[in-house]
Amino acid sequence: MDLTVKPGDDFYQYANGVWLKNNPIPAKETRWGSFNVLRDFNINAVKTILNESAENKNAAPGSLEKRVGDFYASGMDSATIEKLGYTPIKADLKRAGSVKDLKAVLNEVALLKTSGTASPMFGFYVGQDRKNVENMIPQLSQGGTTLPDRDYYLKDDARSKKIQEAYKTYITKLFTLTGVPQATAEKNAETIFSLEKKLAEAQMSRVEMRDPYKTYNKFAVAELSKTTPNIDWKPLMAKMKVTGQDTILVSNPKFFTELNSLLTSTPIADWQTYLQWNVLKSAAPYLSSAFVDANFAFTQTLSGQKVQTPRWQRMSSLTDNAIGELLGQLYVKKYFKPEAKARMNEMISNLVKAYEIRIKGLEWMSDETKEKALAKLHAFKPKVGYPDKWKDYKGLAINRNTFFENVRNSGKWSYDDMVSQLGKPVDRTKWGMTPPTVNAYYSPVMNEIVFPAGILQFPFFDPNADDAVNYGGIGAVIGHEISHGFDDSGSQYDKDGTLRNWWTPEDLTRFKERANSLARQFDAYTVLDTIHVNGKLTLGENIGDLGGLNAAYEAFKMTKQGQSNELIDGFTPDQRFFLAWAQVWRMNIRPETAAQLIITDPHSPGEYRTIGAPVNMDAWYKAFDVKPGDKLYIKPEDRIRIW
């Protein structure tokens, strides 16, 4: 903490100042805060499991240890990887570079997607139909680009231009590494950039993409083909292993009509280059060091990271990404305590109780809408720690000596697993995050809140800490995830997860007014020189924080400590509650990463998450004696109250 600062002037510094000063960002990281410290702790825990598994000579064939150990060991075998150079993708490059006509281009797109090689041209996935949630449906989305957002192609300020140049240098470098002459490689870079720029121009902004109605466009497959005469979706879907589906959801139909025009206005030779690029960029992190280094040099421009992440750490993350529910079983066995699950379930039920009290007490909402909101609240399904039913990755071949094939096979396995859900009942046992993940999520179509084992640790959660610390930490995280069900997007889904309005028009207007005020509050926060937080992009997360912290506080006040005034280390229970919240969000961040996240990340920067909710809570003013004249002071009548 920095006790020389007045909490009412700068609560973030007050709660975190000395920590921020004493904890610079490690060279291999792009930001450093509570999340990262816990992630670092976890990745080291995972490393122990991986090393033990990889070194266990007695692991039975097909056992968890054997499969996890072999996957990791293959990635650590840098000598073999180095020797192979780019051999693993030679055949793909040749094939992608020799497509002769449009039909072949599209077939190649399907092949790259289904083989776990790359995801060119557009996005595709299988998920619940949000207007008919018992049904799994194929879904098409905009895509085909490489830079983190369409803005990177469309803007021409100095920061964007620097990244565009670095991107072209990166493309050139990867092509030359496969023997393409420098001049041709440079020409390829221009071709790819200009093609991807056209795809970017057809994309919606991230704010537009947050509208679940705007992005819900259902087509009969035959009808969709009429809007894109150059793409006959029925045979293309068959190539993508999707059969027997009459309808398809499209998030952005305009993207596909633009793509349709691009298909014929772009020479086949350019599509060849584009497809080759997709093979190259997807494989680069898994090839020899020349490719990995080129990839890192480009990432550096984007993120500001100083040195490459060590190989063991990259391979740990990759193992978690590829076979996370095999690794997760070992992780949970070794690190997850059943007591934590019991305590979490108790806290979740207290948070739901607190939320119920708050909904009932809302002065801006009618009884009619309250009833629906309460029904939704009580329909929430929590998942804690790890899945009841594990993915077995049946049929996924993992060989200790073939790293690249392991990565490919796992990509292919995931694709097959995804399309295999079509025509089957929705599997509600599935998890969207792996057990070691330090994060949590809400799914509107499942109406579920999910907390992986990884986040159920200090500083979010500590069974030995006082309630103030746990409610200000994981309690607020639970409240945050519940509030996603009631944020500007989640609130459009009903208790069954269906996208269907349950609000009276008056209540909806009042909710939107309040949400707009919160968006304006965050719009006013600056990050770097002229860059502001995007209040509309971060609105869902900020409603989550405001609703979540209020509910956590309400639940905390029901505990024994919450009702006492006993000081610990000189701080009152309420002060400790808000300090726990503030310390969860402390974070040093590289300016390059901050600039990127402001465009791509729906979460506000940690500094503003720290203050954004408390400045709207009377309890915070009381706890720290914040008065008119203090920099963060907001008049009681201007404080935003949503949930």
Task: With contacts defined by CB under 5 A, name the span among 71-79, 235-243, 304-312, 535-543 that binds Zn ion.
Answer: 535-543
Contact 285, 295 (CB under 8 A): yes
Name the pairing type of β-strands 31-33 and 587-589.
Answer: antiparallel
Preceding omega of 459 cis (within 30 degrees of 0):
yes
Q: What does 98-165 look like in DSSP terms, one character per residue?
A: T--SHHHHHHHHHHHHHTTS---SSEEEEEEETTEEEEEEEEEE-----SSSTHHHH--SHHHHHHHH
Q: Which is nearer to Zn ion, 315 or 598 (CB)?
A: 598
CB of residue 35 vs Zn ion: minimum separation in angstroms? Answer: 13
| CA atoms of 569 and 474, how far apart (whole Å) | 21
Helix (H, G, I), strand (E, B) or coil at 192: helix
Q: Residue 555: count other Cβ atoms within 10 Å of its Cβ.
A: 27
CB of residue 480 vs Zn ion: minimum separation in angstroms? Answer: 6
Please list every residue from 581 through 610 that binds Zn ion, using CB under 5 A: none
Binding mask 205-244 for Zn ion (x = CB under 5 A): ----------------------------------------
485 binds Zn ion (CB under 5 A): no
601 assigned to active site:
no
Q: Which is nearer to Zn ion, 387 or 548 (CB)?
A: 548
Q: CB-side exposure of 256: number of CA atoms within 13 Å? A: 25
Q: Which is nearer to Zn ion, 541 or 607 (CB)?
A: 541
Q: Which is nearer to Zn ion, 20 or 440 (CB)?
A: 440
User: Among residues 325, 481, 541, 592, which one is catalytic?
Assistant: 481
Task: With contacts defined by CB under 5 A, name the span among 41-49, 153-161, 380-388, 537-545 that binds Zn ion.
Answer: 537-545
CB of residue 309 vs Zn ion: minimum separation in angstroms? Answer: 25
Residues 6 or more apart whose Cβ sits within 8 Å of residue 425: 134
Q: Which is nearer to Zn ion, 120 or 475 (CB)?
A: 475
490 binds Zn ion (CB under 5 A): no
User: Among residues 545, 554, 574, 607, which one is catalytic?
Assistant: 545
Helix (H, G, I), strand (E, B) or coil at 309: coil
The residue count for the chain: 643
Binding mask 324-343 for Zn ion (x = CB under 5 A): --------------------
Residues 6 or more apart whose Cβ sits within 8 Å of residue 403: 74, 75, 77, 80, 81, 286
| CA atoms of 446 and 426, how far apart (whole Å) | 10
Contact 573, 560 (CB under 8 A): no
544 binds Zn ion (CB under 5 A): yes
545 assigned to active site:
yes
Task: With contacts defined by CB under 5 A, name the span among 43-51, 115-123, 163-171, 536-544 that binds Zn ion.
Answer: 536-544
Task: With contacts defined by CB under 5 A, name the span among 127-135, 184-192, 489-497, 538-546 that binds Zn ion.
Answer: 538-546
> How big is the site for Zn ion, counted in residues (CB under 5 A)?
2
Comparing C-alpha atoms, which of 556, 473, 525, 582 is closest to residue 7?
Answer: 582
Task: With contacts defined by CB under 5 A, name the span among 114-122, 203-211, 453-461, 542-550 that binds Zn ion.
Answer: 542-550
| CA atoms of 32 and 310, how far apart (whole Å) | 17
Q: Which is nearer to Zn ion, 70 or 481 (CB)?
A: 481
CB of residue 602 vs Zn ion: minimum separation in angstroms? Answer: 8
CB of residue 612 vs Zn ion: minimum separation in angstroms? Answer: 13
Q: Which is nearer to Zn ion, 120 or 544 (CB)?
A: 544
Catalytic residue numbers read: 481, 545
What residues make contact with Zn ion under the rule CB under 5 A?
A: 541, 544
